Chains A and B, each alone.
Chain A
């Protein structure tokens, strides 16, 4: 028998006026999964993750996290999840140390534990070198690391990350990946959106693809690959199938959402 899903949505929908940004999405993420949520720009990824973390109200549908209804038990759910949203949710005029300390106490840690974990996280993220620097003066990569540190300070069971590797250098990305893989090894569930398909392919065990607000694929990478191979013949530029090689996530993604590259000649004035 399958364990109860950590994240589950039924008919999740969000409208912005006439625009249907998310259209009846049914997601299932099992415990311990590293789950990648993909989609082209404007497909509804960020809207979905905002609804899953309580930052945005759904127009319709139901969200369950760790078996609890998010709308009815929002505080209990939030106690057990960590979030790095699109805008990173930082307080610019605090130092990194003050922000983490603040975050820890907001998640219910006592003063001493929050202070101890602040020191540990700053050290791990290599942010301890400039203790008096304000968050607003951090580089983008440093801010990402700090947002990540704040999201894990209370050791959440589920972690939601919206584009965690965007603007992060290779060294910092390595640090973050190591931390995330460590969390998965300890039984946490991670739900992430990213445009960097190579990273998703390397990290995630399961993937869902959203396109124009609708969930068009969901499953393990192998399941997605098999589904795509069964449905469509090899397209232009992805000769892997014809050569007998395994399809990359990028190829699966492009075939699933029907992506086509425009001819460079259309912008001939670019020089």
Chain B
């Protein structure tokens, strides 16, 4: 027997890099791959503009504040970068396309290599790339203001970048873990509902005490300002500020604390990645390990007015969704956004009132529009979660029109539920939306949903991509549908805003309702036309559908 060849970590990492490159090059062989590449260029251009524009802004503002003797303002920018970095990947899941590194575990990959590969994949995420650019923008601004600080600022910001990168990965991996099983998912759901309900108490309290609460709130903010300094964004800012004076020991201790935070986060991430490395099974089975023999008859769901196959697909879609924690999480993002905006409002008491506090009536339509945006993850890749199951659809005697109709019914049902939840959330957090605005928003949804469903049905067949709803990110998302969906959303939002503006200008929101209902009639006709073409399209695209959705 020959001795096993020693495995070099560098050669493995080079092989992984080579693999990514080959996948990219091979992907260009097909027309769809080329279109995908073109979409990536466009998306990269948009994100690149955001990264470079933001970096320029950060550089300019850092320079101005340092030059005018207000270096402590750096903390504000670093907090902004921090919040963006951690929130953006959740808000823009369609554009996160990090592949699943756990596929590499079949090879003799050491744990440290696995950890590094996972971090490297995470660093390529648009949110991380943009955050890194902005952070480096601050280095540029600081350097222009105080050239001698270049190396120190660079060192601090690199530590800040590493911290953010680790934190984002850790949050994703732990949330994925908690959402993977029913029990922990339910606990998270209950916590979220409790947070929502707590606003029911906060809003009347702040309203009741009115101006009397303001001094207290200001005092609270005054206390919070030094406290933020012990958290990583504050520490990074402090390390740079102390470097200006220069206070070597405080500066070093701030950087050391920042590094300590990073180590702590790295340990949290290490716990998750080690479990993955050892081959954990994140599934529902642990939560439901019943061994009793099941001979109970359980007839499937009935959907009044629809055929049995439509009801069967509808039931299957709902069951899938209920077992897909990460997907559920993205669907409740509109409510999370409302909560975040409310938090923002409370923390910025010294500045002008934020948008929704100024115009609470708009909170409901904005949340509803955001609900549609989040739903595009499902709508624009209808068959992505079915994976090899798409072969079952092709082999079964059911028309694709019925299958797609059932999927759209599911998505419509989710949207309706989200609209109701958003309405309740707005009522709890801000105030009850008026009847006119509620009806106009519903009319807006009736207009926007069929357009999205129609375009989504087309793209689901032209550009299908297998996805695992049980995973948070870590999948190669298709940029083409994401880009087209963004274009559709821009067009729809543009039309919606114009209609609302016109109604506002004329002083009657019922005009908006009327116009949106007219548009809804047109969009529903468009949807029906596409739905009637689905069978022919499914037949035409069956090779692509089966090949793309069945490949591992």
Contacts and interface: CB of A to CB of B under 8 A. Distances in A.
Interface stretch (B207-215, B272-280, B328-336, B387-395): B387-395
A94 B396 contact: no
A123 B296 CA distance: 11
B320 A91 contact: yes
A55 B397 contact: no
A54 B394 contact: yes
B328 to A, nearest CB: 12
6 contacts: A86-B550, A89-B392, A93-B323, A93-B324, A106-B397, A130-B285
A83 interface: yes
B298 A105 contact: no
A130 B290 contact: yes
A97 B319 CA distance: 13
Contacts of A85: 391, 395
B43 interface: no
Given A89-B392, A90-B392, A92-B387, A108 B397 contact: yes
B386 interface: yes
Contacts of A79: 397
A56 B397 contact: no
Contacts of A83: 391, 395
Given A57-B539, A89-B392, A90-B392, A128 B299 contact: no
B388 A87 contact: yes
A91 to B, nearest CB: 4
A100 to B, nearest CB: 10
B315 interface: yes
A107 B396 contact: yes
* B interface bracket (residues with beta carbon within 8 Å of A): 35 or more
Given A97-B298, A134-B285, A106 B2 contact: no
A81 B394 CA distance: 12
A97 to B, nearest CB: 6
B380 interface: no
A258 B441 CA distance: 71
Most chain B beta-carbon neighbours within 10 Å: one of A81, A83, A87: A87
Contacts of B316: 91, 94, 98, 102
Interface stretch (A30-38, A112-120, A173-181): A112-120
B1 A134 contact: no
A75 interface: yes
Contacts of B289: 130, 132
B34 to A, nearest CB: 16
Contact of B298 (A50, A75, A101): A101
A60 interface: no
Given A54-B394, A57-B543, A106-B398, A111 B308 contact: yes
Contacts of B294: 97, 119, 122, 128, 131
B395 A137 contact: no
A83 B395 CA distance: 7
A71 to B, nearest CB: 9
Contacts of B297: 112, 115-116, 119
B469 interface: yes
B90 interface: no
Given A88-B388, A91-B392, A128 B295 contact: yes
Contacts of B311: 105
Contacts of A131: 290, 292-294
A57 to B, nearest CB: 6
Most chain B beta-carbon neighbours within 10 Å: one of A86, A102, A128: A102
B399 interface: yes
B283 A134 contact: yes
B312 A105 contact: yes
A102 B389 CA distance: 12
Given A79-B397, A137-B281, A129 B293 contact: yes
B291 interface: yes
Interface in A172-191: none
B391 A55 contact: yes
A78 interface: yes
B507 interface: no
Interface residues of A, number: 55
Interface in A200-251: none
B470 interface: yes
A93 B311 CA distance: 17
Contact of A78 (B284, B324, B391, B397): B397
B224 to A, nearest CB: 43
Given A98-B319, A132-B290, A89 B309 contact: no
B132 to A, nearest CB: 35
A75 B299 contact: no
A106 B395 CA distance: 10
Nearest to B316: A102
A93 B542 contact: no
Given A87-B388, A111-B299, A118-B298, 16 more contacts: A50-B546, A54-B542, A55-B542, A57-B543, A78-B396, A87-B550, A89-B389, A98-B316, A102-B312, A111-B300, A112-B297, A114-B300, A115-B297, A130-B289, A132-B290, A271-B2
B320 A93 contact: yes
Nearest to B546: A55
Interface in A38-62: 50, 53-57
Given A56-B542, A129-B291, A130-B291, A105 B388 contact: no
B320 A94 contact: yes
A196 interface: no
A122 B296 CA distance: 11
A169 interface: no
Interface string A130-141: 111110110000
Nearest 7 interchain pairs by C-beta: A131-B294, A89-B391, A87-B388, A132-B288, A111-B299, A78-B397, A105-B312
Contacts of B385: 93
A111 B302 contact: yes
A103 interface: yes
